[in-house]
Structure 1
């Protein structure tokens, strides 16, 4: 079976979302500890040479079993896990390198496995509910993925995937699954249009972050200028919350075994 590079692109975002959810739960504790660690690292780093960064770590996949998890008798195999893990690992490793904090690969492996379980639960539910993906919807998703990966067209994106050993038929099959899952999530999320109150609250949070960053944060945009981005941010947050709740509900009734 060819390496599922497209799956890694999709799952990296899903893993990052779950990682963000986990970090939000401990935000107060983490912020205070992080500030202290950052100060200590800055003090220690002053004498080590300016501009030096820790070496980029390598993904540790030696102990990954052939079957990483089972979800209602469907297996998540090692290849699927490694593809998803490598995609999220690259993003987290870059963040770790910039912050100077060591990346916890055991934790990331667990998050990746749980994300794959969540994706499988959503896929099974979408199939069970009979959702269908039109060619137009799949083409639209493909164009969006191409733009996200800074490619000019879906044809260029397909060519890049083919170089990674993934045929167009495989790509479209995975896109079909993803579109069905997106439809399921949209149905569960319902109306995600933000209210004016929600937008004002998001803008206030942006202002607070700007104040913390000081001059490094640049100039604060006006509410009207920031509004389009705020609308997208609030919509995405609502969809993520709906996804998380749906996965949690499905997990309660599912037969899931993780072998990590």
Structure 2
């Protein structure tokens, strides 16, 4: 099994986010014209900076080896290009240049972490069948208001991701999900954590467009639970890394 394009414990969320982004309709140019008539004819308007290009020339055929399993360079390139595109769009808005060395390091680390989690899941006897994978992809397509898995796969194809890679990543997500649900202890949200989040987000009923705490408690608890899950998975990965043989070649 190849590793890993959406290499995090939240692979399903990444699948959904990418699909939703790709499905977003472009803004109506007519609306822009209504807000700023004659914009195209104004010589003094600043031009948007050109989108930078990802630096992938020196990526080796194998970017890392994790307990004897290689992580392929072409899979790293696919994931890196996807993440770089998102960061580049953000950099255009902020004016801050993308640190490609840092982004490469983050991408590679996420792939190594994913491989460690998958290996751990296999060692514990977890499996993900083709039927399970199909069900997850169908759920992802439906949640993004797509009519079929084929449509979802088409969205990924436009991003340079093959069907095999998408299905492989879905299998990874299922394996990690089994691992998290059965073997990684995740703390339940405390009332203190929920109140702290509520206050930090400025959602109080005295705020403009605010809410009563109990009105949005389920959403707040879900967010705290997700944060606790991420921290628990991160701690588990740290434990796996401490006993793993990891070599990186970037």
1:198 corresponding residue in structure 2: 193
Alpha-carbon separation, structure 1, partners of 2:10 and 2:127: 23
Closer, same or farther: CA 189–237 of 1 in aligned 2, 3 Å: farther
**Structure 1 consecutive aligned stretches of length 4 or more whose deviation exceeds 4 Å:** 9-14, 49-53, 134-137, 147-150, 161-165
Structure 2 residue 56 is matched with structure 1 residue 68: no
TM-score, with normalisation over the residues of structure 2?
A: 0.72
Match of 1:57, SS state, is coil
Residue correspondence of structure 1 range 201-220 to structure 2 within 5 A: 201-207=196-202, 219-220=209-210
How far the C-alpha of 1:208 sits from its partner, in A, is: 8.5
More helix by share: 1
Alpha-carbon separation, structure 2, partners of 1:258 and 1:252: 15
- How many pairs are equivalent? 217
Runs of 5+ in structure 2 lacking a partner? 15-43
Residue correspondence of structure 1 range 72-221 to structure 2 within 5 A: 72-133=67-128, 137-146=132-141, 151-161=146-156, 166-167=162-163, 171-207=166-202, 219-221=209-211
Runs of 5+ in structure 1 lacking a partner? 18-48
* 8 Å Cα contact 2:64-2:70 kept in structure 1: yes
1:243 corresponding residue in structure 2: 233
How far the C-alpha of 1:61 sits from its partner, in A, is: 0.5
Alpha-carbon separation, structure 2, partners of 1:85 and 1:161: 15
How far the C-alpha of 1:95 sits from its partner, in A, is: 1.9
Question: 136-145 vs 115-124, which deviates more?
Answer: 136-145
How far the C-alpha of 1:194 sits from its partner, in A, is: 2.1
Question: 220-229 vs 116-125, which deviates more?
Answer: 220-229
Alpha-carbon separation, structure 1, partners of 2:211 and 2:238: 37
How far the C-alpha of 1:131 sits from its partner, in A, is: 0.8
Aligned-pair Cα RMSD in Å: 3.4
Match of 2:52, SS state, is coil
2:5 corresponding residue in structure 1: 8
Structure 2 residue 222 is matched with structure 1 residue 232: yes
* 8 Å Cα contact 1:188-1:242 kept in structure 2: no
Alpha-carbon separation, structure 1, partners of 2:138 and 2:216: 25
**Equivalent residue in structure 2 for 1:257, among 237, 247, 250:** 247
